[in-house]
Every structure is written in structure tokens, then in C-alpha cells.
Chain A
């Protein structure tokens, strides 16, 4: 059964730091991996989608990498800002989930706090 783990569960950094959030998954048979941002009391906003054939995706100050063979992904945030404070969720789309087509398997998230 596919499991997704995110480390650390919480992270606090001063403004301006570059930081890395980690995501690991147990089964490399995935279609893609998606990083989401969730603000308190809000929905999920998609940040980056990496297909299984890709190594990385970039959007502004965000860069996500994928190493499918080792079951790892990282989300790199450059020059962090207080507005980046949120929970970041990693999710994989397995190629086989007992027939539940296209289901996403989520990690529990990393809660990021960027201090001014």
C-alpha cells in the first residue's frame, strides 16, 4: 500500500532563508506527484505538478524535484517570506490503487512558519 511521509511536521524559519521540505513515498509506481499549499481554514492550492517522467518543476521561487526510483521529492522555497507561512502537502497519484482510479495519496503535511 502506498504511503506518503512528510518531514518535518513543522518548520519555523526567519524571513529570507532558503528552505527545503521533504516528501517520501513507498511505491515508485506513480503517475505524478503534486505539491499543494493550504492556508488555515482554507482549501488546497496546487503549487507544482511533476509527472513521473520529469525530474523537476519550477514556479517563481518554488522548485520541486522528483526522484522516483528512491521515492523522494523535495520542495525548495527560495528567499522565504512571511506570506509563505502555510501547510504544504505532498500527494502522489499511484498507477494502481486497487481500482480507485486516479486517487491521490496525501502526506500529513509540513506546517511552515516564516518569521519577519
Chain B
């Protein structure tokens, strides 16, 4: 049971480039989330999804897009990378809302130069 898998683990982008951060889970969880973690700032929610075909904005969605075509996959798209998007990105999943706990992936460390 792999849990939540994120790829790549590290990436350096130039300003203006685009990329997709991949996230997949094999636990049949309905809810999936993208967070970013900046030093000393804690984790902030970017986007989340409560099921295939349903996505919604979190606290810091600007500059990002997501899609959820399957239960397993929840990719995060950066269209025009900016230095402010330098961060560590975590994908997470939970079976549902309410009383269920979260499982996190190992993260993607992104640097925009």
C-alpha cells in the first residue's frame, strides 16, 4: 500500500515556465488536497477536491490550477512560475470530511529562479 505518492521530489523552474506536480493515492480516498509549506509560515491550503470532477479553491489558489478526472489522481498545475511560488508542496488525502484523518505525501520541493 503506497499511500499518497508525489512526483517529482525536486524541481527547479525558471520564471514564466509551467509544470505539473503529480499526486496519486491508492487508498480509495474521496477527498484530496494540495498544501504549500513556506519556512516559518505553516501549511496553507491551495486547492482541494471532494471527489472526481469536483474541485474548489483553498486559502492561496492564485497562480495554480487543478483537475480531478479520477479518484486516484489530483495534479497541480503552475502556469507561469513566479519566485513567490518557491515552496514545498504537499498533497494529502482523506476518506471523507468530518472525522477522518489525513494522509500526506512526501512533498515536492520547488525552486523558481
Contact = CB atoms under 8 A, between A and B. Distances in A.
Contacts of A60: none
5 contacts: A36-B104, A44-B92, A46-B102, A93-B98, A100-B56
Contact of B42 (A42, A46, A108): A108
Contacts of B100: 102
A107 B101 contact: no
Nearest to B109: A41
A89 B35 CA distance: 14
A31 B104 contact: no
A89 B37 CA distance: 12
B41 A101 contact: no
Contacts of B43: 89, 91, 104, 106
B39 to A, nearest CB: 10
Please classify how large the interface on chain B is, using the bins under 10, 10 to 19, 20 to 34, 35 or more.
20 to 34
Contact of A101 (B40, B48, B92, B107): B48
A44 B3 CA distance: 12
Size range of the chain A interface in the assembly: 20 to 34
B84 to A, nearest CB: 19
B33 A107 contact: no
Nearest to B41: A108
A32 B103 CA distance: 14
Nearest to B104: A44
B99 interface: yes
A25 B103 CA distance: 21
Given A34-B101, A34-B102, A51-B99, A103 B107 contact: no
Given A46-B102, A108-B41, A102 B94 contact: yes
Nearest to A99: B56
B109 A102 contact: no
Contact of A104 (B98, B102, B109): B102
Contacts of A116: none
A49 B103 CA distance: 11
Contacts of B106: 42-43
Contacts of B94: 102
